[in-house]
Amino acid sequence: MAGKIGILTAGNDVPGLNSVIRAIGKSAQSVYKMEIVGFLDGFKGLIQNNHISLKGSEFSGILTTGGTILGTSQELPNQSFENTESLDKAISSYKHHKLDALVCLGGAEMQVGTLALSQRGLNVIGIPKSIDNDVFGSDYAIGFDTALSVATEAIDRLHSTAHSHHRIIVVEILGKQTGWLTLGAGTAGGADVILIPEIPYNLNKISQAILERNKAGKRFSIIAVSDGALTQESVEFFKRNREFNIRLRNGEERKEIEDRLDAIENDYADNTNLLSHFLHQKTGLETRITILGFLLRGGVPSSVDRMRAAQLGTTCVRMIHQGQFGILLGINNYQIEPVPLIDVAGKHKTIPLDHEWLQAARDVGTCFGD
């Protein structure tokens, strides 16, 4: 089957995006003789019809390259539900190129844009990418394994300086909505305390755990904290205010207050300095912070991310050939399966509180502050 497909990478960049683009391009052109159009800077490029033609040479030498050769952005075609102009422009670009399908590589929020296009009748397929590994409907997202390795290595390196100076070292790891990356890296790196969004923490319990380590002769501690982790007091505060808002307000006023609470909660969660200051005051130990931040998004993708990229890219092309659309390609139990976009778009896969990773970390003595 000859035809034409479009590709875009939306949202934050992650290691392995170019590996997926390569897998799609090579299999589409060599097996099915398809043409490939790449839209630059995510959905923004689709909306503005900013594109390039991708031929064989463009897929050479990018397997191990970080970032994305197509560029990316946070823009969505349906950002304003009252204004469909961007969505209409995106559809117009699709039709202008006479595409048979569009492949969207994106995280949970970006798949909302993929779903919007699907609901307007376009043939679309989503591929999950996220260093947080939080895309609902898939055990695995492109970029996670590489970020996990980088975060673990950072914790490994920080052990020596923490031990030498008898310090508490707080390592902040990306993870606003979920703690998969922090939990995985913290467990693999032997962090003494792991703080994640799924488990609100008590500051006194953390300081108590550190003081008990000191009494046992362990004069340093490593704390791995997601930038979305919150104290128990903060969680209760926002819960009470949301309940109060629901009881006393309605309509636009309620939504406005809810949006403001979301913004405040998001800002407050990212407060590793407050955690560090409290622990210094409570324990008397020197406390230092290392924020890994966007370091986790860059660099050469791991072998696992490259293998998953090859799986997802080639399977995606087969799905297009078979006429299966409106789906996200999830990896579950090591197998790729199509999941309806309507079931996954915008949803974050949080860590179940009975998950084996959590149990394993608790069994080796890790403190979660609860």
CA dist 115 and 111 (Å) reads 6
Coil, strand, or helix at residue 136? coil
CA dist 309 and 25 (Å) reads 12
- Match 């309620």 to its residue by tokens: 254
CA dist 177 and 15 (Å) reads 20
Q: Which amino acid is at 52?
A: I
Q: DSSP letter string over 2-69?
A: --EEEEEE-SS--TTHHHHHHHHHHHHHHHH--EEEEETTTHHHHHHT-EEEE-GGGGTT-TT--S-T
Give the H or E element holding residue 290. Answer: strand 287-291
Catalytic-labelled residue, pool 41, 132, 145, 227: 132
Active site residue 132: yes
Coil, strand, or helix at residue 286? coil
CA dist 26 and 20 (Å) reads 10
- Residue 357 main-chain phi, psi, to 5 deg: -65, -45
CA dist 39 and 51 (Å) reads 4
Query: Which of 137, 147, 129 lies closest to 18 in space, CA to CA?
Result: 129
- Crossing angle between the packed helical segments 180-188 and 356-363, to the nearest 10 degrees: 40
- Give the distance, in angstroms, between the CA of residue 203 and the centroid of all CA atoms in the same chain: 27
Coil, strand, or helix at residue 76? coil
Query: Which of 113, 143, 129, 91 lies closest to 316 in space, CA to CA?
Result: 129
Residue 143 and residue 15 in contact, taking contact as beta carbons nearer than 8 Å: yes
> Which residues are known to be catalytic?
132
